[in-house]
Amino acid sequence: MERIRLENTVFEGLNNAYVFGADSDAPTLVDTGVATPETREQLEEGLADCGVDIQDIDQILLTHWHGDHAGLAGELQDASGATVRAHAADAPLIAREDGAWEAMDARQRELLDEWGMPADPRAELLDFLEESTHGTPPTVEPFEGGDRFDTPEGDLEALYLPGHAAGLTGYVFDGTDGRELLSGDALLPHYTPNVGGADVRVERPLARYLDTLERIVDAGFARAWPGHRDPIDDPAGRARDIIVHHRERTANVLDVLSEHGPASAWTVSAHLFGDLSAIHILHGPGEAYAHLEHLTSHGVAERTETEYRLFDTDPDLDELFPAVEA
């Protein structure tokens, strides 16, 4: 496997694309980078360094629908004839199927109202989102978790890892030290992947993501190759760290409600993160919403129209989160 590093000034930065079978006549590419001319040039140069021309690509596997991972899929498919595959939950967005983006937009606007987002940041956010990082839509073959895909270096097994996105999928393969994982944005080495705002289709996003993190811990992978930045040599330890992070953030949300009384997701976000810009106008209150909904589902808080109030002022947070002992 070869890793290609791609600059990305739109999101977290330093995207990764992965090539299996670079020295074969049918290489597989995992993720593509954002649809900008600069990123395509970097990808072409990275492929060339591996001995691969774009027209040689046989298969493109996508971890999820976000533009910094799937944006160039259509252009690459046009150039190579490659088969593009993505989880069934995300395939309609990647392929721009009728109704998929309209439903996403409707849900997003509904949540912006529920979160209590003021008019000015809402307008800034919607302007930002109009600057699409998705290029030409590809034809996408959907799959489900557990499906396997042939590559010149052996099978890749799809591991369904929802939370950050409804269809987020990792790919498991046999590495030199045991089973390894291409984790996409389910597991990152420095950032904690956003939940709640990154994909507004996900119901109970924090609970879904905690289940994903438990699955990574239980799998005992030798290494994870993330969608951004450097490899993770202790995936289970990193997953446990993120569980602890979300437990601490939930405690911070409880403190906000205790000190300030009933509050909207936007107000809680302001206390947690301060002023926000660009995509973070969506991610901040989305993160607050994910934690508030987690508290509500466990009977700790309750929602009244656009506000949440504490129902249990002294909850046992250990009951809301997975155990993290090594």
Q: What is the CATH number of the domain that holds 153?
A: 3.60.15.10
- By residue range, what is the domain housing residue 158? 2-115+135-240
325 within a domain of the structure (yes/no): no
Angstrom distance (rounded) from CA 288 to CA 42: 36
Residue 263 exposure: Cα atoms within 13 Å on the Cβ side: 22
Query: pLDDT at residue 8 above 80?
Result: no
186 φ, ψ (degrees, to nearest 5)? -70, -30
Residue 48 exposure: Cα atoms within 13 Å on the Cβ side: 6
182 within a domain of the structure (yes/no): yes
Angstrom distance (rounded) from CA 197 to CA 125: 12
Measure Cα distances from 41 to 44, 202, 232 in Å: 5, 33, 27
84 within a domain of the structure (yes/no): yes
Q: Write down the pLDDT at residue 132.
A: 66
Q: Write down the pLDDT at residue 10.
A: 60
Number of domains in the chain: 1
205 within a domain of the structure (yes/no): yes
254 within a domain of the structure (yes/no): no
Percent of the chain exceeding pLDDT 90 equals: 89
Query: pLDDT at residue 36 above 70?
Result: yes
226 within a domain of the structure (yes/no): yes
Q: How sure is the predictor about 316, in pLDDT bands with cuts at 50, 70 and 90?
A: very high
176 within a domain of the structure (yes/no): yes
Query: pLDDT at residue 12 above 70?
Result: no
Burial letters for 165-204: b for 16+ Cβ neighbours within 10 Å, e otherwise? bbbbbbbbbeeeeeebbbbbbbbbeeebbbbbbbbbbbeb
Helices (H) and strands (E) in the chain, counts: 10, 13
Measure Cα distances from 126 to 75, 202, 279 in Å: 26, 20, 9
Angstrom distance (rounded) from CA 296 to CA 310: 9
Q: Mean pLDDT over all residues of the chain? A: 94
Query: pLDDT at residue 176 above 90?
Result: no
What tokens does 249 get?
Answer: 């953030």
Angstrom distance (rounded) from CA 262 to CA 302: 10
Query: pLDDT at residue 254 above 80?
Result: yes
304 within a domain of the structure (yes/no): no
